[in-house]
Structure 1
């Protein structure tokens, strides 16, 4: 095996004919530096960092290295910049001129410039061949003296991210190196091919970073996109792995292509694919194109750069975490790590070569893309308006997001009218624009990205797609919005100050402070107060005080009950409010003009809950990660993570809330454990059952959730031919039973604490068909009725099954509660409008 690896890697080094090894006499190869040949083991991230730093120190005229950030676990995120010496001496001018040419920096660009190519490796940590390959790529770009590579680097600046997901990679590499045999065991049954939960695919919080490019909810994504926007490359390649039985995949991509993708972007995908094909054909390597990996969902490493004007593509090598260093496939062949390294290495250099060969056209088309974006934006709408009234928290969240995307916006300065699409009603109708409404014009460099992110009904040319099919930003943020067919005039860079003075500054030591409650920042404020043992109340009824109306859920922080804080009460409260952008309204009395007074039994106290969350085998790692991230990074509230193996040893008396994320609960919640859980609920505990957990409880004794009966609408005795299906149509026929991330109107009972802060309609992103009956006993807080569809794809049978279904509900069980979240309100952390509902389940339900 060792001899085979050495021969194979020698082939890799001479793969591109003409490479000489003059520089290799002074600069160590990866094998010389690491002490083993690539392909013999998986390299820890720290060693990859050391080698990349070493190359940069040995060849400063051809390579520079920067640390652009750190992961949640503190590992460095690196970006290597490589080019010819003349380009390296002018890097800053090249970078800023590129931005000037597309309107993202002031001034005029001068002279010519190289094309910019960005290569991203190892976004999925257990697709670990990528960061093994990158060391070989960097070594040859730095040391090779042949005329071809030298020419490529004259025509291009190559940006290389050696490992997008260091935390996930080290989780995989550390596990594999611990369990692997001295010699690779290719048997698929061997332990080294059975990665344990949660796997290394995801980052620290178990998020898929390849689905976070557009949303940037994770620290790694935020730091990477900041640097990406400083460069704005013309070409981006994202390196992955897939199943063991697959060969290699490169562009062109599969359908559906999003309609915003230009003919040139499609054409250049073909060109790069042809250049890859040249080398793969030469070496008789198997590959495929135009299947599976489409260009529709906007948050991938190929689509988000595409909607930012680049030609971007996914490369997929067969193997993944199961492959290890060698594995026997079903056809009898053995797939080795060295082979996988060679394929990614070849695709990397072929991508640079194809860009170099057409450098001038690449730059011309890129500049044309942005010129059209600024002057002739495509799409049905020329502006988007998001209403500002009583939604400061949501507006602030949105503008923070827009700033990260380099999307410009303004604020309406006066009242006006227009005509456009109403996201709430789904109809085109007259629009009233008020001062301080947020206005996003499409006449700007990032107009294509805006169109894609805000499009209420993205056109799907083929329903066979790889991910969700709807994501419109107004729905995700829960903001009333309009798409206007005409531009909006007279906008300012900053909102107008509110009329009058903030009353909170005029009153000293008021009786109480009031805070409206309808956004994530409001929930963050509540969680921070509760965590600091500040007594907070909320009203279950609407009321009016000091001439202002307040909805159910309004937070009431009285001086009574917080006496221990003495003179610190006011300053502490205001400091917390300011940190979350929450406005406090002081009042001098507990008496209200209408509604319930602050001493009413309808004004409840928020207790400080002790919360447990299940994690481990049988729990969806992504579902747990979304909950974990929500607590630690979004509301900063402590939780106890309980491994499923320790469920029988839970100290129930130390918990008030138990969260059951999506998962498979058949074995975990057997009869004994389920009875134990019910006893705890009856004694005053609260369970939040999400997706698969809710499905497991449905129909069980004492739980009021019940699945609807699915009846076959076809009587095969009367219509026997209906059973005949074409094998070739199987995949498409299954679509009638599927939902692919569609947006639906959920009717909310906003008199129930679970729905406080919402209107009567909430737009939910539905990922699965969870068709439950309305509960006969309990509270049907969020339901799907008849007119429910808003956006995205769902099969014909799915739409019928979803009608008249429960989405969110709650029931009493003894002195405790069960909250059913049959749809995940925390999906990928970007569906912000669902987060308040999850917070309500934690803090408000059952008080």
Structure 2
């Protein structure tokens, strides 16, 4: 027993004295405070020490640009120094390039947390340490003190699960919520596209104590807002223009059945019910062609084999104003069917590339790996102006576990595409890498009064892909 305890002690002491890996410090930029707080919670649960802020310049590997460069440490940047007992775990969770000793693996091979949380980061060989134990939220906290004033509008951030929960709570209180479809500036304050707005004039007729109601909801959801006293903007579109569409409350349904991936169905249902406190309707796959638009305006098809189940009734529901969300293999169920414009990209191997196989049976597993992608992170270039990109920007880090890729639309919205430099981390077989060299992974098309959204990457993978939750929220709640 003493020998075992001594081994444990030595293991943790080595982490403090001589951390593993190529880097000494990891710096995660405070680009989205809500997602940064979520990351901090995860690190705390795993007993990984960290601190915030600094006033120095340093050099490190930029996760997004994939190269060494200089950077400055901001007040709310999160810093993990590996000189700590949990050094091994911290390095495994944060290293930009996951090291896999054997490519013949059954599970994902990339999970670097900055990518998962959609936060830019640096891996540095310098011994950097944070100066503060907590975030500086003083500016945001000041916004709460204006809660009971009577402004022209209340502005809420958009870009996290917490923001989506607040939107749901406001709508459940019969408060009309609008969303900015482009950035704007008022009183020297910049508001990004996606900002939620509650206009006093159109809401106080229904609620005479609107300010108190908003304050109560914001407090219950830990929501931070700013008050706006004028509708004339310094930059952007003035209030009252078509730049601030009214958001419709989502009436969500999920399809289930033998054809549906149990994991895909489970993660969608869990996220909606557990994280967002929504209660979606569960619809059998046999009933997807006879849906009532008054009961359901958003239908989610998790990954699955739907080819024989999708008939004209589903397209008719979309044309009447429904929003159909197809995830991963569910996309294949509509290819070639009337009304759906999505087409697979041709990834067949050229004749010149085909060679006779004289490999030995002993190398069978290595040969099979050429067609494998157990789970790798790809940098998806987004159309930052599209509502599905709100709160994310022009780059989305998605997890790919298959080689499905599609042709960009001629008429439609090519929201997320990859190129031959998009692979960021993870093990990908040679043949799959060729297939995923360029094409569409996230797109949408208008169909009648409704839309069809195509997601060829799982945004909710095991309910831990945090930046994917923002993407999924945009798909469900935003106007486009």
The SS at the match of 1:429 is: strand
Q: Tell me the distance in 2 between the aligned counterparts of 1:451 and 1:832.
A: 19
Q: How does 1:245-324 map to 2 (within 5 A)?
A: none
Q: Tell me the distance in 2 between the aligned counterparts of 1:422 and 1:757.
A: 21
Counterpart of 2:376 (choices 716, 731, 742) is 742
Q: What residue is the counterpart of 2:301 in the other structure?
A: 660
Q: Tell me the distance in 2 between the aligned counterparts of 1:495 and 1:474.
A: 18
Q: Which moved more, 1:722-731 or 1:751-760?
A: 722-731
CA drift at 1:756: 1.3
Counterpart of 2:255 (choices 609, 614, 619) is 614
CA contact (8 A) 1:606 1:843 kept: yes
CA contact (8 A) 1:456 1:791 kept: yes
CA contact (8 A) 1:514 1:584 kept: yes
For residues 738-775 of structure 1, the C-alpha deviation after alignment (integer angstroms, 9 at most, x for no partner) is: 21211111000011111111121111111111121111
Counterpart of 2:337 (choices 697, 700, 721) is 700
Q: Quickly say closer, same or farther: Cα 1:648–1:496, change in 2 above 3 A.
A: closer
Q: Quickly say closer, same or farther: Cα 1:485–1:715, change in 2 above 3 A.
A: closer
Q: Tell me the distance in 1 between the aligned counterparts of 2:424 and 2:380.
A: 10
For residues 493-525 of structure 1, the C-alpha deviation after alignment (integer angstroms, 9 at most, x for no partner) is: 123453697244247111101122122222222
Highest Rg: 1 or 2? 1
The SS at the match of 1:603 is: coil
Q: What residue is the counterpart of 2:243 in the other structure?
A: 602
Q: Tell me the distance in 2 between the aligned counterparts of 1:495 and 1:611.
A: 35
Unaligned runs of 5+ in 2: none
Q: Quickly say closer, same or farther: Cα 1:656–1:496, change in 2 above 3 A.
A: closer
More helix by share: 1
Counterpart of 2:186 (choices 545, 550, 571) is 545
CA contact (8 A) 2:50 2:130 kept: no
Counterpart of 2:63 (choices 423, 430, 451) is 423
* 2:90 pairs with 1:450: yes
Q: What residue is the counterpart of 1:338 in the other structure?
A: none
Q: What residue is the counterpart of 1:395 in the other structure?
A: 36
Q: Tell me the distance in 2 between the aligned counterparts of 1:820 and 1:403.
A: 36
Q: Tell me the distance in 1 between the aligned counterparts of 2:171 and 2:446.
A: 24
CA drift at 1:650: 3.9
Q: Tell me the distance in 1 between the aligned counterparts of 2:473 and 2:136.
A: 31
For residues 439-477 of structure 1, the C-alpha deviation after alignment (integer angstroms, 9 at most, x for no partner) is: 111122211110111111121121001200000010001
CA contact (8 A) 1:504 1:584 kept: yes
CA contact (8 A) 2:79 2:129 kept: no
CA contact (8 A) 2:289 2:313 kept: no
Q: How does 1:456-605 map to 2 (within 5 A)?
A: 456-489=96-129, 491-498=131-138, 502-506=142-146, 508-605=149-246
Q: Tell me the distance in 2 between the aligned counterparts of 1:364 and 1:565.
A: 68
Q: Tell me the distance in 1 between the aligned counterparts of 2:299 and 2:367.
A: 40
CA drift at 1:589: 1.6
The SS at the match of 1:535 is: coil
Q: Tell me the distance in 2 between the aligned counterparts of 1:501 and 1:832.
A: 24
For residues 750-803 of structure 1, the C-alpha deviation after alignment (integer angstroms, 9 at most, x for no partner) is: 111111111211111111111211111100101102320110011112122112
Counterpart of 1:815 (choices 442, 445, 449) is 449
CA drift at 1:488: 1.8
Q: Tell me the distance in 2 between the aligned counterparts of 1:397 and 1:826.
A: 15
CA contact (8 A) 2:326 2:452 kept: yes
* 2:396 pairs with 1:762: yes
CA contact (8 A) 1:750 1:757 kept: no
Unaligned runs of 5+ in 1: 1-358
CA contact (8 A) 1:626 1:826 kept: yes
* 2:353 pairs with 1:713: no
Q: Tell me the distance in 2 between the aligned counterparts of 1:729 and 1:713.
A: 24
For residues 84-112 of structure 1, the C-alpha deviation after alignment (integer angstroms, 9 at most, x for no partner) is: xxxxxxxxxxxxxxxxxxxxxxxxxxxxx
Q: Tell me the distance in 2 between the aligned counterparts of 1:757 and 1:536.
A: 17
Q: Tell me the distance in 2 between the aligned counterparts of 1:623 and 1:500.
A: 37
Q: Tell me the distance in 1 between the aligned counterparts of 2:304 and 2:331.
A: 10
CA contact (8 A) 2:318 2:451 kept: yes
Count of matched residue positions in the alignment of Structure 1 and Structure 2: 479
Quick one: higher RCO (CA 8 Å, sep 6+), 1 or 2? 2
CA contact (8 A) 1:714 1:722 kept: no
Counterpart of 2:322 (choices 678, 685, 695) is 685
Q: Tell me the distance in 1 between the aligned counterparts of 2:108 and 2:140.
A: 46
CA contact (8 A) 1:664 1:692 kept: yes
Q: What residue is the counterpart of 1:410 in the other structure?
A: 51
Q: What residue is the counterpart of 2:422 in the other structure?
A: 788
Q: Tell me the distance in 2 between the aligned counterparts of 1:500 and 1:831.
A: 26
Q: Tell me the distance in 1 between the aligned counterparts of 2:141 and 2:469.
A: 31
Q: Tell me the distance in 1 between the aligned counterparts of 2:18 and 2:357.
A: 52
CA contact (8 A) 1:682 1:813 kept: yes
Q: Quickly say closer, same or farther: Cα 1:646–1:593, change in 2 above 3 A.
A: same
Q: Tell me the distance in 2 between the aligned counterparts of 1:636 and 1:500.
A: 25
Q: Tell me the distance in 1 between the aligned counterparts of 2:130 and 2:258.
A: 56
CA drift at 1:715: 4.7
CA drift at 1:539: 1.0
Q: What residue is the counterpart of 1:368 in the other structure?
A: 10
The SS at the match of 1:461 is: coil
CA drift at 1:371: 0.9
Q: Tell me the distance in 2 between the aligned counterparts of 1:618 and 1:543.
A: 45
Q: Which moved more, 1:538-547 or 1:495-504?
A: 495-504
Q: Tell me the distance in 2 between the aligned counterparts of 1:605 and 1:528.
A: 16
**TM-score normalised by the chain length of structure 1:** 0.55
Q: Tell me the distance in 1 between the aligned counterparts of 2:409 and 2:170.
A: 34
CA contact (8 A) 1:418 1:430 kept: yes
CA contact (8 A) 2:328 2:455 kept: yes
CA drift at 1:620: 0.5
**TM-score normalised by the chain length of structure 2:** 0.95
The SS at the match of 1:833 is: helix
Q: Quickly say closer, same or farther: Cα 1:426–1:779, change in 2 above 3 A.
A: same
CA contact (8 A) 1:528 1:635 kept: no
